A and B are shown apart, each in its own frame.
Chain A
Amino acid sequence: MPFGDGETILDVTRRAGRQVPTLCHDDRLKPAGACRTCLVQIEGARRLAPACSTKAGDGMQVTTANERIDEHRQNLLALYLVDHHQGHDDCEDGAPCELHAMAAAYGAPTDWEPLPLARAERPNDDNPYIEFRADRCIACARCTRYCDEVEGVSAITMAKRGIETTVSTADALGLFDTTCELCGGCVAVCPTGAMAEKMPLVAKAPPERKLHKVRTTCNYCGVGCQMDINVDGYGNNGKGQVAKITSPPPGTLPSDGNLCVKGRFAYDFIDHPDRLKVPLVRNAQGELKEATWEEALAAAAKGLRAVEAEHGKDALAFVSSSRCTVEENYLVQKLARVAFGTNNVHQCAAT
């Protein structure tokens, strides 16, 4: 296999279509080589080497699966499971669990007696979005490295050591009292659902594997991050309900799969009871009253035409929106220019 400068064994094996499992790896992060699931055999080396952090070399012979590697993976995954929430189904009440999937894929024993939980939780963290569930954590440090290397916020850290190693914050404070910007990247990178989004858990939304994802563009700032709306098809009487928003994989343009607090979490406005649901038309008494679409559209057209007739086309103004789509902006300017003959069309791009 040819390889580029700085490419790791993992990069090359992936290109070759070989399966090498990883738990602590994320393409946005510096390789940590800590989860040990990606160990492969390099010809001539006594010890197995982590594919994620070992650079490919000239003439290197790499074996990604053999009896030795299989045995290592099975024993390792069995160890992971004794220190992890063991019920597969209730482990996945939020995001799917990469550990359970991997254990199944590599035939790891699942009947080892579990260890008592030694990782500290942070039960008094009252932030509204992010929950740390210590029993699911595998201390892979994806979340803390993401928070540091990608988000540059360093709100969370690995704390304690040995079997007590856990994810914490400065003085184990709630996230609101730290530098956390609530981007939720920790939730996105967590392989086991230990960093979980609170809202769907509290709302008892179906687990992620029962939702379908719709890739779309964020509706907040001008970066245009791609995001996956996770839809519960049975919600809202079958109209579909947004259960949560997740980020696409690393490498997805334009934001490399990253989202901010608004994009990831500020979606509960969608189902907010305040939403306008019915057209309204102001009656003779000056009150806004519910109307049918036909009535409302006719009233709108009539009102605009009446002013046009009385004051001329340039007495009309059309305010479009940088919040709406290209097509909608196109239609508004066309409405102004074609239906009413005026160039008085603009949008509040400045606000």
Chain B
Amino acid sequence: MTNSIGEIRDADFMFVIGSNTSEAHPIIAMEMKRAVKRGAELVVADPRSIWMTTIADKHLKLTPGTDVWLLNAMAHVILKEGLCDEKFIEENTEGFEALPEVLERYTPEEAQKVTGVDAAVIREVAIRYATTRKAAIFYTLGITEHSHGTDNVYALSNLVLMTGHLGAASMGLNPLRGQNNVQGANDAGATPIFYPGYQRVDDEAVRKKYEAAWGVDLDPNPGLNLNEMMKVAGTTIRAMFIMGEDIVMSEPNISHLEEGLNNMDFLVLQDIFPNETMRFTDVVLPAACFAEKDGVFVNSERRMQRVRKAVEPPGQARADWEILVSLFAAAGTPLESQTVSEIFTEMTSLAPKFAGITYEHIEKLGHGIQWPCADDESDGTRYLHEGGVLRGRGLFTAVEYRPSLELADDNYPLVLSTGRTLYHYNAATQTRRAQGLKVKQPEAYVEMHPKDAGRRSIGDGDWVDVVSRRGTLRCRALVSKQVQRGCIWMPFHFAEARANLLTIDEGDNVTGTAEYKVCAAEVRRVTGEPKPTRSSDREVEFLPGSFYRG
């Protein structure tokens, strides 16, 4: 997030796209509701009707995967209406010249044909966004989990830059992180292209710095991203160390992945619960959960906050960092830093963005520290780009619409999206072990439009098979007008109906993020299964993205 959570309540205009905020980020939704109650305008762009659309001034119900068309059309309107912040563009950005030519063909009228959103509404929303000073954009995986996820983000970024909605409170471009430490994992350099603090591995000066600090020669070439690793697991990749993830639940196109894992030579898994991936594992290391260890999580607004040990881990389980320290030693490369505090300081001291952040400094300020933080005198940064764009100039990137990789066809006429619900979290290893949540929402379902259901003789609560080119799974149908005709939607939390058996493992060519939001599918009624009682009528959402933009 360029801006802070606490600023949301003071926004005057909120554009929420690809985020089922009330389900995935209830606390952010709370702040948005507060702003709405105060009189702020809320525009939600989402293919489905979700809770937030019930309080929104406008719901742009776009066809899945057509975000670039919508966003470019908004930019087109802003350009044509002369609503660009020319001073901001002049002083703070580069690459604006390329924009008008590309945007020319993205008229609201043409956009309506592709996205299904009324041209007048696109025009109105664009004008309201451009002419409201405290106008903020929020997005999550509905934007990034596409083959054109990066393009989507560029298109959003263009809107922010051309209107100058940056560098002050209650505005900016705000990806909402779906997991507690998405931000921190990226900050810490757990990516194939960056050392900690977004310093590129192929930048020689940076590499030299780390070689000096770590006392080894480092590989100058970027490694494989997660999606690439999974595709070549069992072929190029022969061994894997996995900490805290259940890849067999969470990765797309599971059948292919399971085949690959069967061919692996060696697999180490470090986790708190047994999981689906354990079937393929050679060594299992029992870890501590968040309540049993010390450390730092970084939230969506770049706030580095302490995690504190409250209780001892069960049995012989140990904190992940302790296990890793031991593993370094076992691998013959013992570490100097031995405590979490020392490890943290080792990281921040080598990354200019985090300079000055230490445990002592966090304790002293009492509320975590939002990076960038120049030194141990700084309070951190509430919103980015104050008084000018960070690191030079904001770059416009004109993008063209590219359709999703797999479109509906005669055999698979429905578009499947996946997401999450309020009551569960990711692979649900924790939430399905919470008795109350299990009662509230015990099992998987596929949401489909009454017309689509009717044509297939499917009734609400019927058992169905959901089929894609990659697999089949069985669950119950939830017939609802929340989804558009031609679209279906599933939560991916449930092990017995793993939505990711169906999803596609092709993804964004920059980030490697798979296109969880669009694949072609079909639903077939199953006979002979007992008619169950309905467990839930809740709707759900998508996962937050790994795409990082500083």
Contacts and interface: CB of A to CB of B under 8 A. Distances in A.
Contacts, number: 481
B298 interface: yes
5 contacts: A222-B183, A276-B315, A300-B283, A326-B297, A337-B216
Given A222-B177, A280-B283, A217 B307 contact: yes
A235 B312 CA distance: 11
B242 A319 contact: yes
B315 A275 contact: yes
B334 to A, nearest CB: 10
Contacts of A330: 188-190, 196, 343-344, 346-347
B192 A344 contact: yes
Contacts of A118: none
A284 B266 CA distance: 13
B176 A299 contact: no
A153 to B, nearest CB: 9
B482 interface: no
Given A128-B435, A216-B291, A300 B327 contact: yes
Nearest 10 pairs between A and B by C-beta? A277-B315, A222-B177, A224-B299, A325-B295, A343-B223, A321-B244, A128-B436, A349-B546, A351-B250, A152-B33
A245 to B, nearest CB: 9
Contacts of A303: 239, 265-266, 268, 282-283
Interface in B127-181: 141, 144-145, 176-181
A325 B310 contact: no
A250 interface: no
B290 A219 contact: yes
Interface string A209-243: 00000111111111111100101000110011110
Given A276-B286, A328-B295, A350-B513, A318 B247 contact: no
Interface string B482-517: 000000000010000000100000000000111010
A129 B271 CA distance: 27
Contacts of B325: 331
Interface stretch (B24-32, B64-72, B399-407, B463-471): B24-32
Interface residues of A, number: 115
Contacts of A350: 141, 144-145, 226, 513-514, 516, 543, 545-546
B174 to A, nearest CB: 11
A256 interface: yes
A276 B27 contact: no
Contacts of A279: 283-286, 316
A229 to B, nearest CB: 4
B316 A277 contact: yes
Nearest to B1: A222
B457 interface: no
Nearest to A303: B266
Given A222-B183, A276-B274, A339-B333, A260 B251 contact: no
A107 B141 CA distance: 57
Given A325-B181, A343-B221, A349-B185, A319 B543 contact: no
Interface stretch (B88-96, B106-114, B423-431, B446-454): B423-431
Given A222-B299, A316-B237, A322-B180, A328 B189 contact: no
Interface string A47-61: 000000000000000
Contacts of A343: 192-193, 201, 219, 221-223
Interface residues of B, number: 155
A112 B316 CA distance: 56
A308 B331 CA distance: 12
Contact of B226 (A128, A266, A301, A347): A347
Contacts of A240: 310-312
Interface string B234-274: 00111111111101011100000000000001101001111
Nearest to A346: B226
B282 A299 contact: yes
A109 to B, nearest CB: 40
B191 interface: yes
Contacts of B188: 326-327, 329-330, 333
A322 B285 contact: no
A270 B243 CA distance: 18
Contacts of A271: 314
A7 to B, nearest CB: 18
Given A222-B180, A339-B333, A344-B229, A319 B247 contact: yes
B304 interface: yes
A317 B233 contact: yes
Interface in B281-320: 281-287, 289-293, 295-301, 303-312, 314-318, 320
B182 A349 contact: yes
A341 B219 contact: yes
Contacts of A276: 271-274, 284, 286-287, 315, 317
B18 interface: no
B240 A319 contact: yes
A269 B289 contact: yes
B405 to A, nearest CB: 16
A318 B240 contact: yes
B179 A323 contact: yes
Contacts of A288: 278, 281, 284
Contacts of B30: 150-152, 258
Contacts of A318: 240-241
Given A152-B33, A338-B214, A348-B247, A182 B229 contact: no
Contact of A268 (B141, B308, B435): B435
Contacts of A342: 219, 223
B181 A261 contact: no
Nearest to B177: A222
**Which one of B189, B274, B343, B514 has the greatest number of beta carbons of chain A within 10 Å?**
B189
Nearest to B301: A254
Given A222-B177, A326-B181, A327-B321, A278 B315 contact: yes
Nearest to B235: A315
A68 B17 CA distance: 57
B544 A296 contact: no
Contact of A333 (B189, B433, B545): B189
Contacts of A344: 192, 223-224, 229, 237
A300 B285 contact: yes
Contacts of B317: 275-277
Contacts of B306: 215-217
Contacts of B178: 221-222
B481 interface: no
